[in-house]
A and B are shown apart, each in its own frame.
Chain A
């Protein structure tokens, strides 16, 4: 025992240093990091590392501080193969980098009536597009806190998706055409799972139980919509904002985990509130100005900002702001636009979209000067994989 140190495969001078530093048996080296050993015995760090490595039991042979780490190259591959849920509006997909990304939490906010729920329902339909048609072929989970989900409207959008691929059938390969034929409105309705949560407690319960539900689903769930996170959180807490932000942060963490581990796209709808000017006085719909970069009336009108405050603002990976764009003048009916306000990898850009009977589509317009990106007709959207 005492001469363990003599058995070490080190140079005599190092051995002498070790002995003079008081090292005798193997146990002396236990739980000693190479750095500490080097300092204590006054030996070079490289030798200390070698000693520690040679004394370590086999199982611990390779200390793994980098366990689970990925190189940026691997991450790049992952990002490049990242799948997206298309919105059926080409310009909006471009702004989002191909659609709403799987594995991320995307927040959608905007004034009442601008189309947040419409976009959420559209995603619920387009997530089901088969892989050969350029989709992700997944089920959708819809957690509704507002009661605004309309199954009849969703049916209409499913029908819109089905019609879209029926129209393109001639341009598809035989397999893709078979997939297009297999799409039925009824089948799509069956693949949306609807949860109605009346309070933040039910919402938290639904999110906590989500991994279990996803695991039990026969087909993979690829989209979770939470419409909206703001409604229960804006009045259930009686002014206890500390508690509110604790619960919100916990909810956000659960959502991020579900998104990543189950490879689903999570879309969180948020409301907006007014800031500055007269506090929450009487403003209903306004301020596409902020999105369109129009600062003309910025000092007079109260600013419209996403609800739930700064804590929540950190919780989503990307944030899409929907607004009315009336910058084209009084005579033109205002159009709806979507701005990517926050993203870890994409620039801030704006897309114009419209809500039609079939769902969310692009707009046909010639005023290209104010557009970002190119605009195509709505028949063009969601190109199949082979195009």
Chain B
């Protein structure tokens, strides 16, 4: 199967030759036991001449195609497909084993949210923060980075953090301020090692980020202490920069590939991926940001991206847009400062929807009790 040159090969695909090499001279366990696997190995050689070299080439074709290409009968063609499928089929796990395996979470330090998310941001998931400008998304990310990198003696995870800063908003002094006020990291040595554990990458290019993510897979474990948190702030800014059309709509294909590789990274290497997304105003529809009713404000990047994230947390001012419309931009900003901020779990496979009032202080994003 010919792939788009720009796309990475699909995960799990393997060369037929390598699969055939694992076939021992035993009789196949399948129902059609009269065909031996060495015989299949010869068919694999024959297929290679016809340019069929990958498992996906065999699986994504009909057996008719395979029978034609390899000049074999239908039973053999089907058997070949089954054997190849069994070779690259992911190994099943039973749910009990998954429950027993411990999941690491990074606490958000917002009690109600941590409660709702079962401990915080989960390793293995892609969590999205979505909200209007000034809602506190970056503050949330910085707090999270501080918690992840803080020493274990200060309730931190003492793990590496990769912070992809696309809008040049990362502030090391702010991270240390949050660490000092909230986690009580006052010792200079502790603060230095905390800062040392956060690697900040500045990139504005979605293609560049994607190749970095692919590269990360090979070097995540190399970073001292292992990276358990990857923050991308903000993915929307980056996608909007990369978009080719005037409407500011990112190329969904590129975004989809990014979402898929982020998920795989999160899952395989046990990393929590946190991305921030912007909102776009939309004058004519009744769409909503997550579950809270906010007319005319919708998350950017579209519905396909929204499907791609595992958890979505919406951050918002109460009725932000309705009043903003009535004000000039400047007075609107004034209004924002005095208004109640809300944080809400809009999509999550394991949480009940929660709504938390919060404010941004020197201690980062804090719940108002």
Inside 8 A of B290's CB, which chain A residues have their CB?
113, 284-285
Chain B min CB distance to A277 (Å): 8
Say yes or no: is B88 at the interface (Cβ < 8 Å to chain A). yes
Pick out which of these stretches binds chain B: A72-80, A190-198, A258-266, A365-373. Answer: A190-198
B4 to A301, Cβ gap below 8 A?
Answer: no
Inside 8 A of A239's CB, which chain B residues have their CB?
4, 253
The digit string for B61-101, where 1 denotes a CB below 8 A from any CB of A, is 01000000000000000000110111111111111101100
B260 to A189, Cβ gap below 8 A?
Answer: no
Inside 8 A of B40's CB, which chain A residues have their CB?
none
Inside 8 A of B86's CB, which chain A residues have their CB?
205, 209, 212
Residue of A nearest to B281 (CB): A282
A238 to B7, Cβ gap below 8 A?
Answer: yes
B256 to A238, Cβ gap below 8 A?
Answer: no
Number of chain B residues close to chain A: CB under 8 A: 82
Chain A min CB distance to B222 (Å): 22
Say yes or no: is B220 at the interface (Cβ < 8 Å to chain A). no
The digit string for B35-52, where 1 denotes a CB below 8 A from any CB of A, is 000000000000000000
Q: How far is the CA of A200 from the CA of B300 in the complex (A)?
A: 26
Pick out which of these stretches binds chain A: B8-16, B131-139, B176-184, B191-199. Answer: B8-16
Say yes or no: is A281 at the interface (Cβ < 8 Å to chain B). yes
Chain B min CB distance to A325 (Å): 12
The digit string for A151-162, where 1 denotes a CB below 8 A from any CB of B, is 111110000000
Chain A min CB distance to B161 (Å): 21
Inside 8 A of A149's CB, which chain B residues have their CB?
349
Say yes or no: is A315 at the interface (Cβ < 8 Å to chain B). no
Say yes or no: is B118 at the interface (Cβ < 8 Å to chain A). yes
B11 to A199, Cβ gap below 8 A?
Answer: yes
Chain B min CB distance to A129 (Å): 16
> Which of B124, B304, B312 touches A147 (beta carbons < 8 Å)?
B124
B60 to A148, Cβ gap below 8 A?
Answer: no
Chain B min CB distance to A182 (Å): 16
A199 to B280, Cβ gap below 8 A?
Answer: no
Chain B min CB distance to A95 (Å): 23
Say yes or no: is A91 at the interface (Cβ < 8 Å to chain B). no
Q: How far is the CA of A112 from the CA of B314 in the complex (A)?
A: 13
B56 to A201, Cβ gap below 8 A?
Answer: yes
B88 to A201, Cβ gap below 8 A?
Answer: yes
> Which of B96, B253, B352 touches A235 (beta carbons < 8 Å)?
B253
Say yes or no: is B221 at the interface (Cβ < 8 Å to chain A). no
> Which of A152, A273, A304, A307 touches B99 (beta carbons < 8 Å)?
A152
Query: CB within 8 Å of A: which of B276-306?
Result: 280, 282, 284-291, 293, 298-304, 306
A246 to B347, Cβ gap below 8 A?
Answer: no
Say yes or no: is B202 at the interface (Cβ < 8 Å to chain A). no
Report if A272-B7 is in contact (Cβ < 8 Å); known contacts: A190-B96, A240-B2, A285-B290: no
B300 to A232, Cβ gap below 8 A?
Answer: no
Say yes or no: is B162 at the interface (Cβ < 8 Å to chain A). no
Q: How far is the CA of A189 from the CA of B259 in the complex (A)?
A: 29
> Which of B85, B95, B266, B298 touches A151 (beta carbons < 8 Å)?
B95
Residue of B nearest to A199 (CB): B10
Inside 8 A of A150's CB, which chain B residues have their CB?
349-350
Say yes or no: is B267 at the interface (Cβ < 8 Å to chain A). yes
Q: How far is the CA of A230 from the CA of B310 in the complex (A)?
A: 15
Q: How far is the CA of A301 from the CA of B296 in the complex (A)?
A: 11
Inside 8 A of A356's CB, which chain B residues have their CB?
352
Say yes or no: is A330 at the interface (Cβ < 8 Å to chain B). yes
B82 to A208, Cβ gap below 8 A?
Answer: yes
Report if A283-B287 is in contact (Cβ < 8 Å); known contacts: A154-B95, A192-B94: yes
The digit string for A175-216, where 1 denotes a CB below 8 A from any CB of B, is 000000000001001111111111111101111110011000
A234 to B256, Cβ gap below 8 A?
Answer: yes
B4 to A237, Cβ gap below 8 A?
Answer: yes
B81 to A208, Cβ gap below 8 A?
Answer: yes
Q: How far is the CA of A285 from the CA of B344 in the complex (A)?
A: 15
Residue of A nearest to B125 (CB): A147
Inside 8 A of A284's CB, which chain B residues have their CB?
287-290, 298-299, 302-303, 306
Inside 8 A of A289's CB, which chain B residues have their CB?
286
Report if A240-B12 is in contact (Cβ < 8 Å); known contacts: A213-B92, A280-B249, A330-B293: no
Residue of A nearest to B94 (CB): A190
The digit string for B1-41, where 1 denotes a CB below 8 A from any CB of A, is 11111110011110000000000000000100000000000
Q: Which residue of B289, B291, B346, B347 has the most chain A CB atoms within 10 A of its CB atom?
A: B347
B298 to A194, Cβ gap below 8 A?
Answer: no
B350 to A153, Cβ gap below 8 A?
Answer: yes
Say yes or no: is A97 at the interface (Cβ < 8 Å to chain B). no
Say yes or no: is B339 at the interface (Cβ < 8 Å to chain A). no
Say yes or no: is A21 at the interface (Cβ < 8 Å to chain B). no
Say yes or no: is B237 at the interface (Cβ < 8 Å to chain A). no
B60 to A243, Cβ gap below 8 A?
Answer: yes
Say yes or no: is B157 at the interface (Cβ < 8 Å to chain A). no
Residue of A nearest to B57 (CB): A201
A152 to B350, Cβ gap below 8 A?
Answer: yes
A194 to B94, Cβ gap below 8 A?
Answer: yes
Inside 8 A of B350's CB, which chain A residues have their CB?
150, 152-153
Seen from chain A, the residues whose Cβ lies within 8 Å of a Cβ on chain B are 111-113, 117-118, 121, 124, 141-142, 146-155, 186, 189-202, 204-209, 212-213, 228, 230-232, 234-240, 243, 246-247, 250, 271-274, 277-287, 289, 297, 300-302, 304, 307, 324, 326, 330, 334, 355-357
18 A-B pairs whose Cβ atoms sit less than 8 Å apart in the complex: A113-B347, A200-B10, A201-B11, A205-B85, A205-B89, A208-B82, A208-B85, A236-B7, A243-B2, A246-B60, A271-B304, A281-B249, A281-B302, A282-B249, A283-B302, A284-B299, A285-B287, A286-B286
Seen from chain B, the residues whose Cβ lies within 8 Å of a Cβ on chain A are 1-7, 10-13, 30, 55-56, 59-60, 62, 81-82, 84-96, 98-99, 103, 118, 124-126, 247, 249, 252-253, 255-257, 259-260, 263-264, 266-267, 280, 282, 284-291, 293, 298-304, 306-310, 312, 346-350, 352
Closest 10 CB pairs of A and B: A238-B4, A235-B256, A113-B347, A208-B85, A199-B10, A151-B98, A202-B12, A198-B11, A189-B96, A282-B280
20 new A-B pairs (CB below 8 Å) besides A147-B310, A150-B349, A199-B260?
Answer: A111-B306, A151-B95, A152-B99, A189-B99, A190-B94, A201-B12, A204-B60, A205-B85, A208-B81, A209-B86, A230-B307, A243-B2, A280-B249, A283-B302, A284-B287, A285-B290, A285-B346, A300-B285, A301-B286, A334-B293
